[in-house]
Structure 1
Amino acid sequence: MLLVYTHKITPRLKFTFKHICKRILGLDVKFTSKVEDFIAHDSLKMSYTKQPLSNELFVRSHHLLFEHGISDIDISVLQWENTKGFFPTGERSDLPFDIFAASFYLLSRYEEYLPHVKDDFGRFMAKESLAYKHRFLSQPVVDIWAYKLRDVLQERFPEFDFPNRSYKVQPVIDVPMAYYFRKKGLLRSIGGTLADIGRFRFKQLYQRYSVLMGFKRDPYDTFKWIVTKQKQCDSKFIVLFLIGDYSTYDKNISINKKDFVSLIKSMADYCHVGIKASYFALEDISVLKKEKLKMEAVINRDLQAVRHSFSKLNLPQSYRNLVELEIHRDYTMGYIDTLGFRAGTCTPFQFYDLDFEVQTPLQINPYHCLDFALLKYHSELDKREHLQKLIKEIKEVNGTFTPVFHNYTFSNIDRWNGFRSLFTLILDSANEG
């Protein structure tokens, strides 16, 4: 167990140390403000305060973990060996940067509470982030910093045997539209037919009726392939179905259709099933609650996982709604157009509510690659290279790689050519040495 001496034990401090020490390094951690308790402890220990007590392992603290609320912080990002760091500590500190304050800044999404430019959907975009501006978005810096702390602790306490963790893959399959042509109802099928004719999409018109008459499989119906892949994989896929009402933004088939219910039930036999919360559920907790109850009625178990439509988050309200409805895992934390680490980590962490200064039971599972973000790389070779770079970064800290793909990504539609093999590449990365 690591004992940390500090002048003030705060919720921010506990939250950050527990993520770095317990979740990443596998170390139990306790805190004390009593010098005598600190001196008496005969295992791993460090002080985190303004001045060292004597010659113990010491990291000079920035004020961020001892504050309340949000303020505009002046941040200077500097090179630190193979990565970047901020909140420099000075000469006497055993680490050149306060990795705890810096980690809290990234994990709490502090910058997303500050004024920023949103996109047309009201999303926080990668270009607004500190990590993008200072070119460390492609690294899980919080995990890298944790391993630097581990190195310093190992040097000071060579007899201590640190636990090891292993690289994992946690695939997420998003299902905003289970079928492209099937089960849409008469009116939507007629509307689609007229649109195909009006836009001279005769190839699609032919495909539409080949599917509707049962001659061909629906292009979005890739679920047999997904189940086959799941059977070959140790970690359970998270499959998230949109079951919200039809709207401008959400166009899945109705949850009242028996075939759709059967599909969800059959996927739940092999994978973990959750919901892709509809666009309007983001703003209205009553809509979210209705969708939660509908899914629980289908799968006959408590809903555990959710992801918001369009990867949109309204912090902190989106996450407070999940906490209130006792939904315990979120998969929305990532960027739609850029590979990388929105929260600076490849380790799931708890949501910290900055307004209430409390760690909540909601586990945030940040994703690092959305299939759409790979489309900007034109060749399959280019896509593979960027994916492999990402995998390498996560493997170096034995983290969890969470990619988000859609059911239609595995279709034979031209723009998604080669994506089955990219998904397979990700799954295979968990079995490589």
Structure 2
Amino acid sequence: MLLVYTHKITPRIKFTFKHLCTRILGIPVSFTTKIETFIAHDSFKMSYTKQPLGKEIFIRSHDLLFEQGLSDPDLNITNWGDTKCFFFNGDKSALPYDIFAASFYLLSRYEEYLPHVKDEFGRYVAKESLAYKYKFLNQPVVDIWAYKFKAVLEQHYPDHEFKTRKYSIKPVIDVPSPYDFRLKGLMRTFGGTLKDLFAFRFKRLYYRYVVLFNLKRDPYDTFKYILNKQKQSKDRFHFFFLIGDYSTYDKGISVHRKDFVSLIKSVADYCVVGLKVSFFAIENKNVLNEEHKRMESIINTSLLESRNSFSKLNLPDLYRNLVELEVQEDYTMGYVNELGFRAGTCTPFFFYDLDYEVQTPLRINSYHVIDSALLKYSSLLDKKEKLQHIINQVKQVNGEFVPVFHNYTFSGHGRWKDFKELFNIILDSTDHDK
């Protein structure tokens, strides 16, 4: 048990120390404002305040973890060994930066509450982030900082045996539509046929009718392949099915189609199944409630996981709605056009509501690679290198790697030609069977 002395115990302090110390390093942590309690403690201890009490491990605190609401903190990002950090705190401190305040800034997504430019879908984009601007998006800096703190603890307590985590993966399969041509209904099939004709897409038109006459498998229908991969893997896949109504943004299959419902049920026999929240449900609580009920009636159990359409996040409203519905895990935190660590970590963490200053029970599994972001690299070699770099970053801190692939990614058609190979690299990156 690590005892932390501080002049004021705040929800921000508890949230941040528990993520770095307990979730990343496996060290239980408690807090005190009483000097006599701190002095009497004869095991692990440190002070997190403005001045050291004695010769204990002392990390000089920035004001961020003692504030409420939003301010505009001065961020001076500088190099720190092979990584970067901010909130420099002088040479009296055991670490030259307040890694706890810096971690809170990234984990709470503080910068996403400040004024910023959104894209055409209303999303926060990577280019607006501190990590992108200062070139540390491709590092799980929060976990790296935690290990620097661990090195200080090891120096002071050389006899203590620290727990070590093991690198793991959590593959996500996103299903905006299970089929490209099947189960679309007469009007959509007719409309699609006309579009193909007017655009001279004769190959697609041919494929459409070959599939509709059951002469070939639908290109998006890759579920047999994925489930076979699941049966060979000890890491459970997490599927997210879109069951919202047809709209400008979401063009899935009607949930009234029995074949679609049967597909979801059959996948749920082997994998974790969650809800892909439709574009309009992200903004509309009533639509979200309806989709939540639909999915629970299909899987016949409580809905525990969700992921948003288009990876759109409107903080903090959507997360608050998920908390109210008792959804336990979310997989939306990430960037669709960039690889890397949006929240600076590869360890799941809880959503901290900056407006209410409270840690919620919603666990955030930020993803680090999405198939669409790999498309910007033209050659297979480049894709492999970029993917392997992120995997290596996660491995170095024994974190949890979360990749997002779509069902159509495994079709092998066109731009998705080599993506099965990339997925295999991810599955092979764990050493379960070695």
Matched with 2:131 is: 131
Measured in 2, the distance between the counterparts of 1:385 and 1:412 equals: 20
The residue that corresponds to 2:50 in the other structure is 50
Structure 2 contact 412–419 (Cα < 8 Å) conserved: no
Q: Deviations along 1:208-253, whole A, 9 cap, x unmatched?
A: 0000000000000000000001011111100000000000101011
Aligned to 2:251: 251
Are the counterparts in 1 of residues 106 and 344 from structure 2 also a CA contact under 8 Å?
A: yes
Distance 2:77 2:22 in 1: 26
SS class of match (1:43): coil
Decide whether the 8 Å contact of 2:60 with 2:93 is kept in 1.
yes
Query: Which residue type is aligned with residue 299 of structure 1?
Result: I
Number of the residue aligned with 1:14: 14
* 1:265-344 → structure 2 map (5 Å cutoff): 265-344=265-344
Tell me the residue number matched to 1:402.
Answer: 402
Q: CA deviation at 1:49?
A: 0.2
Aligned counterparts, 1:77-96, within 5 A = 77-96=77-96
CA RMSD of aligned residues (A): 0.7
Letter in 1 for 2:287: V
SS of equivalent to 1:421: helix
Question: Distance in 1 between the 2:296 and 2:235 partners?
Answer: 22
Counterpart of 1:241 in 2: which secondary structure?
strand
2:17 is paired with a residue of what secondary structure? helix
Asked if 1:387 corresponds to 2:387, the answer is yes
CA distance in 1: counterparts of 2:423 and 2:61, whole angstroms: 42
| Cα offsets for 1:235-281 (capped at 9, x unmatched) | 11000000000001010110110000000000000000011100000
Unpaired stretches in structure 1, ≥5 consecutive residues: none
Q: Secondary structure of 1:76's match? A: coil
For residues 412 and 40 of structure 2, the distance between their equivalents in structure 1, rounded to whole angstroms, comes to: 66
Cα distance in structure 2, aligned partners of 1:262 and 1:390: 36
Tell me what 1:60 maps to.
Answer: 60
Q: Deviations over 1:68-98 (max 9, x none)?
A: 0001111000100110010011111000000
| Preserved contact between residue 125 and residue 335 of structure 2 (Cα < 8 Å) | yes
Partner letter of residue 148 of structure 1?
K
Residues 155-197 of structure 1 deviation map (CA, whole Å, 9 limit, x = unaligned)? 0001111001000000000000100000001111111111111
> Which runs of structure 2 are paired with 1:33-432 in the superposition (5 Å)?
33-431=33-431
Question: For residues 13 and 225 of structure 1, what CA distance do their matches in structure 2 show?
Answer: 46
Q: SS in structure 2 opposite 1:306? A: strand
Query: Equivalent residue of 2:205, what SS?
Result: helix
How far apart, CA to CA, are the structure 2 residues paired with 1:315 and 1:253?
28
Whole-angstrom distance in 2 between the partners of 1:32 and 1:295? 45
Name the amino acid aligned to 1:105.
Y
Question: Offset at 1:43?
Answer: 1.0
| SS in structure 2 at match of 1:363 | strand
Structure 2: which amino acid aligns with 1:267? V
Distance in 2 of aligned mates of 1:81 and 1:71: 29
Runs of 4+ in 1 over 4 A off after TM superposition: none
Name the SS for the 1:215 alignment partner.
coil
TM superposition shift of 1:413: 1.4
**Number of corresponding residues:** 433
Amino acid at match of 1:36: E
Percent identity (aligned):
66
C-alpha separation in 1, matches of 2:248 and 2:120: 15
Amino acid of the structure 2 residue aligned with 1:92: K
How far did residue 412 of structure 1 move? 2.6
What letter is aligned with 2:187? L
CA distance in 2, matches of 1:213, 1:193: 14
Residue identity opposite 1:313 in structure 2:
L
Instruction: Give the whole-Å Cα distance in 1 for the aligned partners of 2:412 and 2:333.
Output: 28
SS in 2 for 1:58: strand
CA contact (8 A) 2:78 2:86 kept: yes
SS of the residue aligned with 2:244? Answer: coil
Q: Report the Cα distance in structure 1 between the residues aligned to 2:323 and 2:172, rounded to whole angstroms.
A: 21
Question: In structure 2, the residue corresponding to 1:173 is in which secondary structure?
Answer: strand
Secondary structure of 1:360 counterpart: strand
Distance 2:134 2:206 in 1: 50
CA deviations over 1:305-350 (Å, ceiling 9, x no partner): 1011111011111111111111110000000000000000000000
d(CA) in 2 for partners of 1:287, 1:326:
16
> SS where residue 295 of structure 1 aligns?
helix
Asked if the contact 2:242–2:252 (Cα under 8 Å) also holds between the matched residues in 1, the reply is yes
How far is the alpha carbon of 1:140 from its aligned partner?
0.2
> Per the alignment, in what secondary structure is the counterpart of residue 124 of structure 2?
coil
- 1:26 and 2:26 are equivalent in the alignment: yes
Whichever residue aligns with residue 327 of structure 2, its letter is I
Give the whole-Å Cα distance in 2 for the aligned partners of 1:416 and 1:390.
Answer: 20
Q: Contact 2:193 / 2:205 at 8 angstroms: preserved in 1?
A: yes
